[in-house]
Amino acid sequence: MAKRKMILDLDTGIDDSLAIAYALGAPDVDLIGIIGSYGNVLVEPGGQNSLKILELLGHTDIPVYLGESHSSTSDHFDRMQVSADIHGENGIGQVELPDPKRSIEKESGVDFLIDAVHKYGKDLTLVPTGPMTNLAAALKKAPEIATEIGNVTFMGGALTVPGNVTAYAEANINQDAEAANAVLTSPLHSTMVGLDVTLRTLLTKKETQQWRDLGTVAGEKFADIVDYYIQAYVDVNDNLGGCALHDPLAVGVALDPSFVTTIDLNMVVNYNKETYGRTIGDDNRLNDPTNVKVSVAVDKDRYLKTFMEYLTALFKKN
């Protein structure tokens, strides 16, 4: 059992599933729970997808909790069509997996996070790969966790490249810019793994074929899931040559920060109409002590090598 503990906050689509696999495959951390969010899918189907992936990978011991079902400024969530196009209607590339034997936990994901921070403190790492709604709610309910938690590494934002849902906004931040701004302007220290680095970290069908060649159920299913994702990327942007490893890169950086080069920056998130969801340096805090490390370059070859080692070893067993 590892000293270091991890919680994933996911809107479980395809790259979120890869993030789960990376966390399970990493030898130096224990995944102690998953919090469900909205984005790629609605919160309830996303939670079910997390349970299905955990069961596929032989980890029915890990609980899944549901977080907030919509943004902090709305009363409902409407899934964008582009999310269905990229992740499939079911969120996992239209691949059918058995209904999970384990049920969603009754405790709220926000309360689970707060309790875990109080229990594990600096040994706890949180990786949000969807909107910041759950984390912002936890900080509002229990502000002390901002300085108690050991590591927060989130997938979201775009500093040096355009957004992927508007010219300014990356999808996760765009789902709840107000919550993201509350997090980034709080005392919490975090690392941003945004489009600046995730779009350089690509997986191709060469790698998914290696999983097929294992001859295991997990290898075949993950190859099917990710091949759907790769094809979706071809349809949307065939210049990349593969699918971006958005969410699993955030898990990788949380465990090994040397995968990326960062700059220290105090950040704000715009939530006016024209630039909603833009992540940018805060000109009111330029000379203050900084609380965000922004990833701007990535050692993509070393990361991909580690990614394939972890996931291939995991898929061999299942």
Residues in the chain: 318
In whole angstroms, what is the distance from residue 318 CA to residue 299 CA? 29
Distances (CA, A) of 281 to 76, 136, 158, 170, 224: 30, 19, 11, 16, 40
Burial zone of 103 (CB within 10 Å; 0-12 exposed, 13-18 middle, 19+ buried): exposed
Backbone angles phi, psi at 38, to 5 degrees: -110, 160
Strand partners, 152: 126
* Distance (Å) of CA 100 to CA 132, 213, 284: 27, 26, 49
Separation of alpha carbons 282 and 268, rounded Å:
5
Token pair of 184 as six digits: 């980034």
Rounded Cα gap, residues 137 and 113, in angstroms = 10
- CB-CB neighbours of 40 under 10 Å: 31
Handedness of CA 87, 203, 318, 66 (dihedral sign): negative
Annotated catalytic residue 11: yes
Catalytic residue among 11, 16, 196, 247: 11
| Cβ proximity of 282 and 181 under 8 Å | no
Q: Tell how far CA 314 is from the center of its chain.
A: 19
Cα dihedral sign, 57-61-62-65: positive
For residues 133 and 176, give the distance between their C-alpha atoms in angstroms, rounded to a whole number.
7
The residues annotated with a catalytic role in the active site are 11
